């Protein structure tokens, strides 16, 4: 007499849908690192940037990443392109806005064209893209919005008035967005890097606590996974900026910081 043993496999949990991620400003630096790391983790990633050649290089190195040439100051193109990408990714879980410019500005220079470029790219482009994500996520009751601001937006320093304004405005916008849709199940994360080894570092006269784009990207992904609201990278910048924010104005304007 023989007996038959039937083994039934019970999965510990159902198959998970890969994360769907949009990275705006992925041609180099932090944005490129964020897109690459998410793709390596198995996420479906859409990478956008103005420089098509840089996107071709990214696509060659990470074939799983879908690339879309786009100038973030082309505001009218955003709604249709956003919807197209969401269809291509079969949904959306995370959007990361990293696009930013900082042209060199001399101490005695007051150049409206440069100021306008920074406001349009660093702030208005973010609002155009993240408004679309906010609307979608609010309806879905979930989602993660990430904006890469800067410690430069925490105080109005003399070196780059336009840049400080663009990043300060972005931080306020993200806070307002968070206060509006957090109760709907949507997480809004503000990332405030210090000095990162990117092209923007060329304009800095003094640097310290410099980190790599890969380090910044890892900290951004960790912040998203933990549902953080405001994250300084590296974390020690939080304490530095807390001090700087509380320096009286009549003293602050005399300091070369």
| Cα–Cα–Cα angle for 212, 238, 125, rounded to 5 degrees | 65
Give the DSSP letter of residue 45.
E
Give the DSSP letter of residue 192.
E
**CB-based contact 171:127 (threshold 8 Å):** no
The distance of Cα 104 from the centroid of its chain, to the nearest Å, equals 22
| CA distance readout (Å), 1 to 7, 93, 196, 224 | 20, 56, 73, 59
User: Whole-model pTM?
Assistant: 0.89
The distance of Cα 151 from the centroid of its chain, to the nearest Å, equals 14
- Give pLDDT, residue 206: 74
* pLDDT tens sequence across 8-29: 333 343 457 899 999 999 999 9
**CA neighbor of 148 nearest in space, from 198, 89, 84:** 198
* pLDDT tens sequence across 176-206: 999 999 999 999 999 999 989 877 767 666 7
- CATH code for the structural domain at 20-252: 3.40.50.720
pLDDT band, very low/low/confident/very high, at 158 (cuts 50, 70, 90): confident
Give the pLDDT mean for 233-248: 90
Q: Count other C-beta atoms under 10 Å from residue 185's C-beta.
A: 12
Give the pLDDT mean for 223-245: 93
**CB-based contact 30:98 (threshold 8 Å):** yes
Give the pLDDT mean for 108-132: 97
List b or e across 209-245, with b for residues whose CB sees 16 or more CB atoms inside 10 angstroms: eebebbbbbbbbbebbeeebebbbbbeebeebbeebe
């Amino acid at each position: 007499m023989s007996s038959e043993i039937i083994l039934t496999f019970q999965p510990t949990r159902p198959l998970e849908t890969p994360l769907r991620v949009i990275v705006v400003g992925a041609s180099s630096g932090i944005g490129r690192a964020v897109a690459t790391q998410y793709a390596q983790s198995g996420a479906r990633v859409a990478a956008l940037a103005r420089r098509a050649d840089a996107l071709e290089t990214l696509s060659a190195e990470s074939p799983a990443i879908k690339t879309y040439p786009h100038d973030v100051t082309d505001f009218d193109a955003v709604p249709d392109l956003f919807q197209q990408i969401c269809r291509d990714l079969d949904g959306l879980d995370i959007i990361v806005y990293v696009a930013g410019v900082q042209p060199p500005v001399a101490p005695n220079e007051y150049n409206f064209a440069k100021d306008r470029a920074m406001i349009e790219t660093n702030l208005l482009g973010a609002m155009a893209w993240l408004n679309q994500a906010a609307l979608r996520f609010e309806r879905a009751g979930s989602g993660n919005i990430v904006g890469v601001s800067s410690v430069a937006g925490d105080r109005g320093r003399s070196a780059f008035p336009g840049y400080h304004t663009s990043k300060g405005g972005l931080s306020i916008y993200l806070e307002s967005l968070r206060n509006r849709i957090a109760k709907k199940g949507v997480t809004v994360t503000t990332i405030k890097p210090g000095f990162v080894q990117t092209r923007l570092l060329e304009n800095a006269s003094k640097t310290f606590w410099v980190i790599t784009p890969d380090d910044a990207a890892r900290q951004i992904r960790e912040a998203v996974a933990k549902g953080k609201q405001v994250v300084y990278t590296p974390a020690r910048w939080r304490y530095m900026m807390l001090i700087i924010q509380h320096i009286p104005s009549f003293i602050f304007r005399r300091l070369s910081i």
